[in-house]
Structure 1
Amino acid sequence: MNIQNAGEFTPFSPSLHANVETIRNRFGGSTDIVIRMFRSDAAPDREVAIIYIDGIVDSETVNESVMEPLMSMKLPPHAYVKGAKLLEALRSCVVSIGSVQVIEGLEQALQYLTDGLCVIMADGSAAALTADVNGGEQRSVTIPQTQTVIRGPQHGFVENVRTNISLIRRIIRSSDLHVQMHKIGRQTHTNVAVLYLHGIADEGIVKEVYRRLADIDIDGVLESGYIEEFIQDETFTLFPTLLNSERPDTVAAALLEGRVAVMVDGSPMALMAPTTFFTFFQSPEDYYQRFDIATFVRMIRYGAYVISIVLPALYIAVTTFHQEMLPTTLLISLSAQREGIPFPGLVEALLMELTFEVLREAGLRMPRAIGPAISIVGALVLGQSAVQAGIVSAGMVIIVSFTAISNFVMPEFNMAATSRIIRFLFMIMAGMFGFFGIFISVLFMLIHLASLRSFGVPYMSPMAPGPTKQGPWRDVFIRMPWWAIVLRPLDLNLRNPKRRPNGKKPPAQRHSDKA
Structure 2
Amino acid sequence: MQRQPFTNRSSSNDNQMLPEYADIPIDPSVENNLLRIKRDMGGSDDLIMRQIHNEGKNTAAAAVVYIDGLSNAMAINQYIYDVLDYSLPRFDGEDMMTLDAGALAKKLLNGMGPVRTVSDLGSLYKNLLSGVAIILLRGHQYAYCADIREWKGRDVTESTNQTSIRGPRESFTETLRTNTSLIRRKIKDPRLWMETVTIGHMTKTDVTLMYINGLAKPDVLQLVRDRLSAIKIDGILDSGYIEELIEDNKWSLFPTIFNTELPDNVAGQLLEGRVAILVEGTPNVLIAPTQMVTFFQSTEDYYQRTFYASLLRILRFGSVFISLLFPSLYIAITTFHRDMLPASLLISLAAQREGVPFPAFFEALIMEITFEILREAGLRMPRAIGQAVSVVGTLVIGQAAVEAGIVSAAMVIVVSITAISTFTLPAYSMSIPVRILRFAFMGVAASFGLFGIIMGFFVLMLHLCALRSFGEPFMAPLSPFIKTDMQDALFRLPRWLMFKRPETSLKTDSSRIRKN
- Tell me the TM-score normalised to structure 2 length: 0.93
Mapped partners of 1:259, 1:486: distance in 2: 17
For the residue of structure 1 that corresponds to 2:383, the secondary structure is: coil
Deviation string 1:54-111 (CA, Å, 9 cap, x unpaired) is 111222222222223333468999xxx8525533321123443121101111111111
- CA 1:494/1:63 → structure 2, altered by over 3 Å: closer, same or farther? farther
Mapped partners of 1:448, 1:129: distance in 2: 55
Structure 2 residue corresponding to 1:229, chosen from 244, 256, 262? 244
Shift of 1:488: 1.1
Structure 2 residue corresponding to 1:486, chosen from 499, 506, 510? 499
Structure 2 residue corresponding to 1:360, chosen from 362, 375, 390? 375
For the residue of structure 1 that corresponds to 2:52, the secondary structure is: strand
Equivalent residues of 1:86, 1:125 under 8 A apart: no
Tell whether 2:36 aligns with 1:22: yes
Mapped partners of 1:226, 1:309: distance in 2: 28
**Which runs of no fewer than 5 residues in structure 1 stay unpaired?**
507-515
Partner of 1:201: 216
Partner of 1:451: 466
Structure 1 residue corresponding to 2:288, chosen from 255, 262, 273? 273
Mapped partners of 2:439, 2:98: distance in 1: 70
Equivalent residues of 1:308, 1:419 under 8 A apart: yes
Deviation string 1:253-291 (CA, Å, 9 cap, x unpaired) is 111100001111111101000001001000000001111
Aligned AA (2:463) = H
Mapped partners of 2:160, 2:278: distance in 1: 18
Structure 1 residue corresponding to 2:136, chosen from 109, 117, 121? 121
Structure 2 residue corresponding to 1:13, chosen from 27, 51, 73? 27
Mapped partners of 2:108, 2:292: distance in 1: 56
Structure 2 residue corresponding to 1:36, chosen from 42, 50, 62? 50
1:242-321 mapped onto 2 (5 Å cutoff): 242-321=257-336
Q: CA RMSD in A?
A: 2.2
Deviates more, 1:381-390 or 1:124-133: 124-133
Aligned AA (1:429) = V
Deviation string 1:286-328 (CA, Å, 9 cap, x unpaired) is 0011111101111110000110001001100111011111111
Partner of 2:81: 67
1:12-161 mapped onto 2 (5 Å cutoff): 12-39=26-53, 47-72=61-86, 82-83=96-97, 85-96=99-110, 97-161=112-176
Tell whether 2:509 aligns with 1:496: yes
- CA 1:40/1:395 → structure 2, altered by over 3 Å: closer, same or farther? farther
Structure 2 residue corresponding to 1:434, chosen from 438, 449, 464? 449
Shift of 1:376: 2.7
1:351-430 mapped onto 2 (5 Å cutoff): 351-430=366-445
Partner of 1:511: none
Mapped partners of 1:350, 1:234: distance in 2: 29
Equivalent residues of 1:457, 1:492 under 8 A apart: no
- CA 1:471/1:229 → structure 2, altered by over 3 Å: closer, same or farther? closer
For the residue of structure 1 that corresponds to 2:509, the secondary structure is: coil
- CA 1:109/1:238 → structure 2, altered by over 3 Å: closer, same or farther? same
Aligned AA (2:247) = Q
Aligned AA (2:510) = P
1:153-232 mapped onto 2 (5 Å cutoff): 153-232=168-247
- CA 1:40/1:414 → structure 2, altered by over 3 Å: closer, same or farther? farther
Equivalent residues of 2:96, 2:139 under 8 A apart: no
For the residue of structure 1 that corresponds to 2:208, the secondary structure is: strand
Deviation string 1:117-146 (CA, Å, 9 cap, x unpaired) is 000111111111001111121111111121
Aligned AA (1:257) = E
Deviation string 1:176-227 (CA, Å, 9 cap, x unpaired) is 1111111011111111100000011011111111100111101101100100
Equivalent residues of 1:66, 1:95 under 8 A apart: no
Mapped partners of 2:289, 2:170: distance in 1: 24
For the residue of structure 2 that corresponds to 1:207, the secondary structure is: helix
- Tell me the TM-score normalised to structure 1 length: 0.93
Equivalent residues of 2:116, 2:146 under 8 A apart: yes
Mapped partners of 1:495, 1:114: distance in 2: 44
Mapped partners of 2:365, 2:247: distance in 1: 32
- CA 1:316/1:475 → structure 2, altered by over 3 Å: closer, same or farther? same
Deviation string 1:123-175 (CA, Å, 9 cap, x unpaired) is 11111100111112111111112111111111111111111111111111111
For the residue of structure 1 that corresponds to 2:65, the secondary structure is: strand
In the comparison of the two structures, how many residue pairs are matched? Answer: 498
For the residue of structure 1 that corresponds to 2:185, the secondary structure is: helix
Aligned AA (1:404) = A
% identical aligned pairs: 45
Structure 1 residue corresponding to 2:489, chosen from 444, 469, 476? 476
For the residue of structure 1 that corresponds to 2:330, the secondary structure is: helix
Mapped partners of 2:232, 2:401: distance in 1: 51
**Which runs of no fewer than 5 residues in structure 2 stay unpaired?**
1-5, 10-15
Deviates more, 1:490-499 or 1:15-24: 490-499
Mapped partners of 2:36, 2:87: distance in 1: 29
- CA 1:431/1:493 → structure 2, altered by over 3 Å: closer, same or farther? farther
Mapped partners of 2:244, 2:83: distance in 1: 47
Shift of 1:453: 0.2
Partner of 1:332: 347
Mapped partners of 2:472, 2:235: distance in 1: 29
Mapped partners of 2:54, 2:510: distance in 1: 59
Deviates more, 1:21-30 or 1:447-456: 21-30
Mapped partners of 1:94, 1:181: distance in 2: 26
